[in-house]
Chains A and B, each alone.
Chain A
Amino acid sequence: MSTYIPKLSLGPVQYYWDRQSMFNFYEKIAQSKIDIVYLGETVCSKRKLLRRDDWFKIAHQLQNAGKEVVLSSMTLIEANSELAALKTLCSNLEFMVEANDLSAVQLLKGKPFVTGPAVNIYNPQSLRMLYRLGLKRWVLPVELSKDTLSDMQNKKPVNVETEVMVYGRLPLAYSARCFTARSHNLPKDDCQFRCLDDPDGLLLSTQESEKFLVLNGIQTQSAKTSNFISELDQLIELKVDVLRISPPSKHTDKIIDIFHQTLNQLCTTTQAYNSLQALMPAGGSCNGYWYGENGMDYCEFNQEKSVC
């Protein structure tokens, strides 16, 4: 590996965990080797066990522990109430905001901001346009490949940082419909917060028992955990600035350690890969998007070519 080491970030928690679990989780994160933490509810505006004050309290704890804190905005903004909450978030003067919808970009105009994976930046023209509006860092949309990333890196404004999601179940789709409520035969307006039952989402399998997707309220994720631990050398070669881990309900501290140790050459990639396999929720791992293949595939990279 070369001389620089990319930073590690922790993406926003995608699931709905109870209040105490959230506080406990971020206490551990404060003591971890993570550099940047993205905080906030990004999936469902009904999930309110943590209020604005709670999020700021956690943000300050993390900041005091030396972490860079970014507040993440909701991905699907529909109701006026959601827009009002977004306006409040974007008017905060303390923390940078991760825009997960272009409404946030509009409201953040003139301030530095980050774009999350659901903001469609597929080409250098889009990147340059958003840079003119204050884009500081962008996250590669998860369906894009290393070839596309390479083109982006060659043509991006020098001051923009690039972040790539390297670990976690993939956020694949958003809907008005709540699939968790649907699975319990409940309407969304009376969902009874059943997503609290599933700290890693609700597994959806084919009729042949193939673990396929995960239902997380209005969000659909991959059942497989995307894992780029074997691709770290390629990410470094492409001068990616930040590597994002999307947290599962268990072992996030260990996962962060494994990435940190691998980046600092304290363990081999093979050791790291094997350790991570043991920590994943059901479904196995994938990295196909990186190689321009089906997202759910797992490919191995040998002498300049990938085998899936």
Chain B
Amino acid sequence: MNTSENNKHKIELVCPAGNLPALKIAVDNGADAVYMGFKNDTNARHFAGLNFNESRSVQGIEYAHQRGCKVFLAINTYPQAAGWHRWQQAVDLAAKLNFDALIAADIGVLDYAASQYPDLRLHLSVQGSATNTESIRFFYENFGIQRVVLPRVLSLKQVSQVAENSPVPLEVFGFGSLCVMVEGRCLLSSYATGQSPNTFGACSPASAVQWQDTNDGLQTRLNHILIDKYKPNEPAAYPTLCKGRFEVSGNTYYAIEEPTSLNTIALLPELQAMGIAAIKIEGRQRSPAYVRQVAQVWRAALDNCYKNLKEYVPDRQWLETLHSVSEGRSTTLGAYHRPWQ
């Protein structure tokens, strides 16, 4: 992609909208775009009480568009033949409503959208697992995708290599819950609970979670599998499968990953210089209050970095705010930072 134009492009801030109140708050607090899903398993935040039906979608799109904010729709899970009609209907509805882009992952869904609705702008979802330029080229040449959301597994150097050679602009994750595994290629959840992000749109689904108070303290389980146990007064985390304490070679520790959130706000100058098109904020399942805080901080950071790339330093207040809404009250640079790997 073209990064030569003095790198003075504006990075787009893409914020989560789990429902209409969150959408409005994101729009009012500086989002350039919001992303959302319909109320079923066609998207990867298929949680009870979340997401949009048709009339709410219309209201959301109208609210955002009147204020110059774009709206993306995620149809980013993998349909099987028995449920195909739901994904097809979702694409049909996306084309009928005035969405600015459809975020999809499945080859069949992309093929259908590209052939039926050639004017519908397509983004490749992070669930599409495109971690290199040839994968991106596959989706670009076959379906004409116009942006790709990168999985959270690349180091900063690797992101830069992809940015240099990608046929389409890149969107990267800036903040929020961290997937340690390549998105779209993690079956841990269905192994334990029968439901995975690919098949059901949820990881470690709430219906499989058990919180048990015992004499030894709190235990968290997923479909009866012990994910973690806590001493009295030790803060407990949601039992996401990859973020529990397990035993390997006689040691008990966070064998896969700690409960922590990704935060790349310190990397903004590098991302700006690489020509990254958009920063995505994770968290459609989070509260409108979270959306407000995170959108405000990132709006300020992006504006600050844009105006003064060379002297940009993350504000202490921003970092404190982000910490306060992070998983386990801690943040990491994740795979961007090579030693993490």
Residues of A within 8 A of B (CB): 75-80, 82-83, 86, 101-107, 118, 120-126, 129-130, 133, 142-144, 147-148, 151-152, 155, 170, 172-179, 182-183, 187-189, 202-210, 212-213, 215, 220, 222, 288-289, 292-296
Contacts A76-B131, A120-B184, A125-B107 known; 8 new A-B pairs at CB < 8 A? A102-B139, A107-B134, A120-B78, A142-B187, A143-B187, A172-B191, A202-B248, A207-B246
Rounded to whole Å, the gap between the CB of A172 and the closest CB of chain B is 5
Q: How far is the CA of A41 from the CA of B335 in the complex (A)?
A: 22
Q: How far is the CA of A170 from the CA of B187 in the complex (A)?
A: 10
Rounded to whole Å, the gap between the CB of A214 and the closest CB of chain B is 10
Interfacial chain B residues near A80, Cβ < 8 Å: 161
Give the total number of A-B pairs whose CB atoms are below 8 A apart.
210
Interfacial chain B residues near A207, Cβ < 8 Å: 226, 228-229, 245-247, 252
Q: Do the beta carbons of B108 and A143 come within 8 Å of each other?
A: no
Rounded to whole Å, the gap between the CB of B218 and the closest CB of chain A is 13
Tell me if B103 counts as interface (CB < 8 A to partner A): no
Main secondary structure of the interface of B (DSSP, over half): mixed
Q: Do the beta carbons of B190 and A215 come within 8 Å of each other?
A: no
Q: How far is the CA of A179 from the CA of B133 in the complex (A)?
A: 26
Given A123-B78, A210-B225, A215-B248: A78 touches B134 (CB 8 Å cut-off) = no
Q: How far is the CA of A176 from the CA of B186 in the complex (A)?
A: 13
Tell me if B138 counts as interface (CB < 8 A to partner A): yes
Q: How far is the CA of A292 from the CA of B80 in the complex (A)?
A: 12
Given A125-B112, A148-B80: A220 touches B181 (CB 8 Å cut-off) = yes
Interfacial chain A residues near B81, Cβ < 8 Å: 123-124, 148, 151-152, 155
Q: Do the beta carbons of A204 and B190 come within 8 Å of each other?
A: no
20 pairs, A vs B, C-beta closer than 8 Å: A78-B131, A102-B139, A103-B132, A103-B135, A106-B134, A106-B137, A106-B141, A120-B106, A122-B198, A172-B191, A176-B153, A176-B155, A176-B335, A177-B180, A177-B340, A179-B256, A206-B247, A220-B188, A294-B194, A296-B192
Rounded to whole Å, the gap between the CB of B228 and the closest CB of chain A is 8
Interfacial chain B residues near A209, Cβ < 8 Å: 247
Return the chain B residue nearest A286 by Cβ: B191
Interfacial chain B residues near A178, Cβ < 8 Å: 341
Interfacial chain A residues near B340, Cβ < 8 Å: 177
Q: Do the beta carbons of B249 and A170 come within 8 Å of each other?
A: no
Q: How far is the CA of A202 from the CA of B246 in the complex (A)?
A: 12
Per a CB cutoff under 8 Å, which of B107, B256, B341 touches A176? B341
CB neighbors of A among B313-340 (8 A): 335, 338-340
Rounded to whole Å, the gap between the CB of A190 and the closest CB of chain B is 10
Q: Do the beta carbons of B255 and A83 come within 8 Å of each other?
A: no
Q: Do the beta carbons of B226 and A206 come within 8 Å of each other?
A: yes
Per a CB cutoff under 8 Å, which of B82, B227, B228, B245 touches A148? B82
Interfacial chain A residues near B257, Cβ < 8 Å: 177
Q: Do the beta carbons of B190 and A294 come within 8 Å of each other?
A: yes
Interfacial chain B residues near A129, Cβ < 8 Å: 107-108, 111, 142
